[in-house]
Chain A
Amino acid sequence: MRAVPDVAVWGRLTLVQMRRVGVDSLPVALFIAAFTGVVLALQASYTFAGTVPLYFVGTLVGKTMMLELGPVLAGLALAGRVGASMAAELGTMKVTEQVDALETLAYDPQSFLVLPRVLAGTTMFPVIVALAILAGITTGWLASLALLHLSTQEFLKGLKLFYRFKDTWFGLFKSATFGCTITLVGCVVGLGTRGGAEGVGRSTTQAVVYSAVLLLVLDAFWALVLLQ
């Protein structure tokens, strides 16, 4: 918290990190979401065949992408990409005394390194997840048209059937907490690095494992909250 008043330092750096976390992570998140949308549509039709009307494919694709797979799959992918990258970068800075150098130049590493990354993760993850959800639903719709011979009207009917606005904001809010967790873990583990290259490697692995575990625990927690 002591870093918060130091806006002159973290303000500009946050914009740089938002670009790195947001824009650079978008391709992998969209790629995963696009294929997930297709698979969801196909598996839903397999499950529903003969028992449930096929327009429920739209319901399943929409609900699942918004509430669960959009945030969680993008989160897990970005835990690997963003969390690992932050742990490796800060770990290398730590073992090469760059963090000490920052301190001797009268900078607080919390405001120079940690806060910009955590803020960028917290604000950009919902944006990435929103686009990933959109990509997943779009590919689910296209797969339904091309492979399940469902019409656009039928898909949209299913999509709207049990839709609540809460589905959207809850999924995005959840992804903000994932972004905060992943970047915080990456920074904390990175700055705690000891030793040389081996230490950096260990920190990178730890960051991914801890982030993934925490993300799944947090996901279960939010599922409980959703039911309240």
Chain B
Amino acid sequence: MIAFQDLHKAFDGHVVLDGFTLEVKDGETTVIIGYSGTGKSVALKHVVGLLQPDTGDVIVDGRAVSTLERAALLALRREIGFVFQFAALFDSMSVFDNVALGLRRRELSDDELATRVREALALVDLTGAEAKYPAELSGGMRKRVGIARAIALRPRYILYDEPTTGLDPVTAAVIDQLMVRTREHLGVTGVVVTHDMRSAYTVGDRIAMLYEGRVRQVGTVAEIQDTPDPVVRQFIEGRPA
């Protein structure tokens, strides 16, 4: 289980997270929604120790992330796949090497490694793209390689940072299906950060709205859709103020 516990984070005096508290239950996909710049990605980066909280902490399976020694943090990261907003693929590496990079840190034979890479690429419908380079891929394909890189690790958790941002509706729907398929096939726990409500409704078991640095409301898809809270309602309906 991932638990965000009273997380506070400010950058140059600007408060981004102000007591963010949320529990992500095992086997579920929890979607964090909210306006741009409200700290959704910042919250996600605390889970893998890319950012240190000012106060509070993220607890992953009983481990307080900010207190972990370097070796323990690396061990934790091996259990977590992270899909970046713009895929963050390594330009100088082929698709195969991008997906294989995390696996090279494990005790795998070359055959096992190649099999794992091909399986991951097959799951995201990119069989045959192994030799391509990121510059040769469309935005949607890059996101799928990013997902393949994360699932190749067979992680317990996958964190998705704005997985459908910048994609056309059809490609975004493909990515949504992939996230659902990943949960169903691999049984991983997911945290998805997005402001795309269609995506949130498709992939989320629970949805939490981050507003002014803390959770405004958390609930099932149905509970969020029927919310009486005017702030949440305005956001999910996409109405201007």
Contact = CB atoms under 8 A, between A and B. Distances in A.
Given A97-B88, A101-B89, A106-B78, 12 more contacts: A96-B86, A98-B88, A100-B88, A101-B84, A103-B77, A104-B50, A104-B80, A105-B77, A106-B75, A106-B77, A107-B101, A108-B70
Contacts of A100: 45, 50, 82, 84, 88
Q: Which of B45, B81, B88, B149 has the most CB of A within 10 A?
A: B88
A98 B89 CA distance: 7
Interface string B44-83: 0100111000000000000000000010001101101110
Interface of A: 2, 93, 96-98, 100-101, 103-108
Contacts of B48: 103-104
Contacts of A97: 84-86, 88
A104 B126 CA distance: 22
Contacts of A103: 48-50, 77
A105 B50 contact: no
Q: Bin chain B's interface residue count.
A: 20 to 34
A108 B49 CA distance: 13
Interface of B: 45, 48-50, 70, 74-75, 77-78, 80-82, 84-86, 88-91, 101-102, 105, 149, 153
A100 B84 CA distance: 9
B102 A105 contact: yes
Nearest to A99: B88
A2 B71 CA distance: 11
Contact of B77 (A2, A98, A104): A104
Contacts of B84: 97, 100-101
6 contacts: A97-B88, A100-B84, A101-B89, A104-B81, A105-B105, A106-B75
A3 to B, nearest CB: 11
A105 B80 contact: no
Given A2-B70, A106-B105, A101 B78 contact: no
A131 B86 CA distance: 44
Given A2-B70, A98-B90, A100-B50, A105 B101 contact: yes
A135 to B, nearest CB: 31
Which 3 pairs between the two chains have the least Cβ-Cβ distance? A105-B102, A101-B88, A104-B82
A71 B84 CA distance: 43
A67 to B, nearest CB: 38
